[in-house]
Amino acid sequence: MFNRKQGVVRSWNDQKGWGVIRVGPVSSLERYFFHVSAIRSGTATPSIGMEAYFDTDDAAEVREGQLPKAVRVDIIVTDESEKAGA
């Protein structure tokens, strides 16, 4: 079963095409790995601080030491985020 969440891009590695989304305040440890192939809308090169909506697969197995995966990711691109990335 999928669970829709909202978070913020915490990090992005443009060369490898993956990043981390944080849910909640800056001190939150609720984080999710996402790959460029999971992005449905927005931008394929997200910037730190961009808002993201995504699903998590509660049935997916998470290996020890790895973050759970975000799937069906929608990156919210605003005029302000476009200016910051320019």
Domain span including residue 58: 2-85
Total structural domains within the chain: 1
Q: What is the CATH number of the domain that holds 34?
A: 2.40.50.140
Q: What is the pLDDT of residues 60-77, one digit of tens each?
A: 788 888 999 999 999 999
Strand order, beta sheet including 31-35: 31-35, 18-22, 2-13, 51-57, 70-76, 39-41
pTM for the full model?
0.86
Report the chain's terminal Cα–Cα distance, integer Å: 38
Q: What is the pLDDT of residues 11-40, one digit of tens each?
A: 999 999 999 999 999 999 999 999 999 999
